Chain A
């Protein structure tokens, strides 16, 4: 079935630096969402993309349906950015709104 491979599984950054998370898809996806898990385990929306790029503050996301990937870039990382980030892709099948989740990236920001 449709798969989403998210990498890296864990990432450690120093404050002020940046990096990227990536999700690869085994098939063409219609859209992607990026989330951050909150302290209770629920999901905070970061981005929804059907194509192209979006930016919000120090976060920027890109989605390329044809090349089957999406990225989440974090710049000037702050301590409060620590947490677990997930991508979820929406497949192009009949199941409206089926999000297929990646395994998550645990991000740790160090002083």
Chain B
């Protein structure tokens, strides 16, 4: 069974519209959670990390926010999308060392 799920698989959204991407982890207790983003042609970079429920640290400012409402859930969101938000979003988990990545969400902002 897959440990990490991301939704949606892909989205096409309009500039200025809101966004919510989700990530859930199954079968792991209190994992560290991460959001990564890769612009088309760019390098993957970490956006947020969380080591516990309700606590999220921002790594890169991209007019996005993240929340961890439950131990097994990590949400990435914004109220107003920019063209520059297009790309591939990956959620990852770890229990201290190795990070394991989800299947990703591809976002196109028009």
Tell me how many residues of B have a C-beta within 8 Å of chain A.
Answer: 23
Closest 5 CB pairs of A and B: A48-B98, A43-B101, A101-B44, A42-B104, A42-B103
- Among B65-110, those with CB < 8 Å from A are 88, 90, 94, 97-104, 106
Query: What residues of chain A lie closer than 8 Å to B98, measured between beta carbons?
Result: 33, 45, 48
Q: Is A73 at the interface (CB under 8 A from chain B)?
A: no
Q: With A42-B90, A48-B97 known to touch, is A97 a contact of B104 (CB < 8 Å)?
A: no
Q: Interface residues, chain B, CB within 8 Å of chain A?
A: 32, 34, 36, 43-46, 49, 51, 57, 59, 88, 90, 94, 97-104, 106
Complex CA gap A48/B98 in Å reads 6
Complex CA gap A45/B97 in Å reads 12
Tell me how many residues of A have a C-beta within 8 Å of chain B.
Answer: 22
